Copies of this chain bind each other. A is one copy, B any other.
Amino acid sequence: MSGEIMPISEAKISVLDWGFTRSDCTYDVASVRNGAFFRLEDYLERFQTSLAKVRIEVVQSKDEMRDIVHNIVARSGLQDSYVAMVASRGVPLIPGTRDPRQCGNHFFAWCIPYVHVIRPEVAARGAHLYVPREVRRIPPDSVDSTAKNYHWGDLTRGLFEALDAGFDTAVLLDHQGNVTEGPGFNIFSLKGNIVRTPDTGVLEGITRRTVLELCTELNLETDVRPIALSEFMESDEIFTATTGGGIAPVTRVNDRVFSNDAPGQVTNRISETYLSWFDRPEFRQPVNYLQDR
């Protein structure tokens, strides 16, 4: 394994790094729960896909990245952790040139205590979502949403609007008026026996994939296609899905109340099933924590 390990307070990146100055980077976030990574191979695989899509080559192989994230979590001692991998375009190898094909790219990883994108107390009562009127999600023909990226200007703008209006977070429409995603999560709509989630303009989340897979076990139908706002507002239940916190019920969207202003029954069943999947051996990679801590 290459690279050095340092505390997060000392981990720094140059202000000249293109990852910073042009958000010219890609990243991924895996999680550790109860001392084990969940579906780490899927996260590593998606990260490789993102790297290829944005054409950032780094010297670390997928196997080395696996070793690195295991190593930093082991050293941190964190039993529940948010584990980020980032690859950045770095700086041009020849000063004064601006060729993105000729940069000193680099890879780094860091872990912190587990993060809930939607706070547990908010998930417990059901999140209140705001759909901004004006700001639209960056379209995929501008920035490919399936290559996990930091182009969050639209999401941040939406989040400001949502918070100012007294909501918990935002979900953005695309330019066709379909719901897409929010800052850090995918969105799901339940109607009857069918669980729907958008197919375009969104990150192909690993938690999203897990939900789609477990719905089959729960005898729910899945349907991945565009969802117009008008259809979304007629959902029986709505929930969000993200690595940082799992499933969170949504009880309000703008002025509409869903599932009697309480987490939906099907959502709760999906959330419980999701949590139970953390114990499945095929998804679980225990961290080999250092004994001498």
Chain A residues in the interface with B (C-beta under 8 A):
8-9, 11-16, 19-24, 27, 54-55, 86, 89, 96-101, 108, 110, 112-113, 115-117, 119, 134-139, 141-144, 149-157, 159-160, 163, 175, 183-184
Contact = CB atoms under 8 A, between A and B. Distances in A.
B152 A142 contact: no
A49 B199 CA distance: 37
Given A100-B156, A159-B100, A13 B12 contact: yes
A13 B15 contact: yes
Q: Is the interface of A mostly helix, strand, loop or mixed?
A: loop
A97 B159 CA distance: 13
Query: How many copies of this chain does one complex carry?
Result: 2
Contact of A143 (B15, B97, B119, B138): B138
Given A55-B160, A101-B160, A142 B149 contact: no
Contacts of A89: 156
B139 A134 contact: no
A142 B163 contact: no
A149 B154 CA distance: 12
Contact of A16 (B8, B119, B152, B184): B8
Contact of A151 (B20, B23, B54): B23
A202 B155 CA distance: 20
Contacts of A155: 22
The 8 closest A-B pairs by CB, nearest first: A12-B12, A23-B23, A143-B153, A22-B152, A138-B142, A142-B154, A20-B20, A23-B150
A233 B36 CA distance: 58
A91 to B, nearest CB: 11
B22 A156 contact: yes
A156 B24 contact: yes
A192 to B, nearest CB: 33
